[in-house]
Structure 1
Amino acid sequence: MSGVIVTDPPRAAAKDVEALAAFGVATVSEAMGRTGLLGPEIRPVQQGVRVAGTAVTVLSWPGDNLMIHAAVEQCGEGDILVVTTTSPCTDGMFGELFATALQQRGVRGIVTNAGIRDTQELREMGFAGWARAISAQGTVKATGGSVNVPIAVDGQVIRPGDVILADDDGVVVVPRARAREAAERSAAREAKEAATREAFLGGQLGLDRYGLRETLERLGVTYQSYEAWDGERS
């Protein structure tokens, strides 16, 4: 497999990335019309961490981390490395030594459709990771691939320079061209949720705030006392 290493792709504006960093993955995905989520199998190797950054993408051969080595050179301050393979792979393609090199370049974390190892060391050094698997299985460095090309993870296309947001709930990708719009929509959604939270703290029910009593009635859902309900079953 031959490949290409694309240098200096355009990235989302830093101010838009930082604006998105204020919101959770669920909020951003909802604000974008429930789009952009990677699959639930990609899970964090730590808890209580949220990162946002611009994608440096890697397409590798399964069981081969040569192109991750090549990608380190293309990474810089505020990036997140996003790695996938040409076919399914759970090998531990990324570990503490890669994290050390990337942390020195200002990279904020890794998202991979394959495996991560050295997870305790990653947590101790504060390098965030999201992966499909945790595996001690090693890899080779023998096959070409590509860096900074469009890749697909769980049906989501990720282009270099897109915004990656990751937290305990998972990972969402925001296309570079929609970063500002997504931040504005997320802010509006969070303001709406804050108002709802205050209403719930004041005792209002979701049934009333969202007009769901009418929905129940339209669906034919009725209220009955226990005695009446139990009597009908007897």
Structure 2
Amino acid sequence: MTENQSFSPAAAPALVPTCDLFDRFKDDARYVLPGFHDFGAVTRFSGAVVTVKCVEDNSRVKELLATPGAGRVLVVDGAGSLRCALMGDMIAASAVKHGWAGVVIWGCVRDVAELAALPLGIKALAAIPRASTRRDQGLVDVPVELPGAAVRPGDILFADEDGIVLLTAEQAAGLK
């Protein structure tokens, strides 16, 4: 961001390295514990957070990623389940089509070869071939937990090869 710009949720925040963010904000920065892996072609991404809380049902994930993303990041609290995938190639392609910057899933993905070719940031715990069962369940825009960090809708997420850092919108507005 330039000195005259202020943060706007519709505008993608600058891609500031997570190590630099942590050095600047210290204990005021929230960071997610290790264990997430990159699955998309984009390994550095940032954006305002939209949240979904769901367990082994990707109904809300599919719905949200089919809406305009405007450079935002979907954070999915899948409770760390390794029993099924919460996103595959078709839902991820929809996210790309609709302008989402990235998806962080505390759970699994599938269709790994196809995900790797998509221009989307994707971080998840693991891959598994089993799809989720859609039961029309899940909560949207609620506070969620990722390992080590509380995540609120509207937070600003920064992800790169070193990990994931979360800032409030006010903190991110001060980045220059």
TM category (shorter chain) comes to 0.7 to 0.9
Equivalent residues, number: 168
Q: How does 1:136-175 map to 2 (within 5 A)?
A: 136-175=129-168
Question: Unmatched 5+ residue regions in structure 2?
Answer: 1-6
Residue 115 (structure 1) aligned to one of 87, 108, 120: 108
Higher relative contact order (Cα pairs below 8 Å, separated by 6+ residues): 2
* Greater percentage in helix: 1
Q: Which residue does the alignment assign to 1:180? A: 173
Q: 1:76 to 1:47 in 2, by over 3 A?
A: closer
Confirm or deny: 8 A CA contact 2:96 2:120 kept in the other structure.
Answer: yes
- Residue 18 of structure 1 corresponds to 13
Distance change (3 Å), C-alpha of 1:16 and 1:64: closer
> Aligned equivalents of 1:142 and 1:16: distance in 2?
34
Q: Give aligned-pair identity as a percent.
A: 24
TM-score w.r.t. length of structure 2: 0.85
TM-score by length of 1: 0.65
Q: Which SS does the other structure have where 1:18 is aligned?
A: coil
| Cα distance in structure 1, aligned partners of 2:66 and 2:85 | 21
Instruction: Work out whether 1:28 is the aligned partner of 2:16.
Output: no
1:40-79 per-residue CA deviation (whole Å, 9 max, x = no partner) reads 0112125773111111111002x21112123225542111
Aligned counterpart for 1:93 among listed residues 76, 83, 86:
86
Equivalent residue number for residue 43 of structure 1: 37
Instruction: Give the residue type in structure 2 aligned to 1:129.
Output: I
Larger Rg: 1
Name the CA distance, whole Å, in 1 between partners of 2:71 and 2:11: 12
What value does the CA root-mean-square deviation take over the aligned residues? 2.1
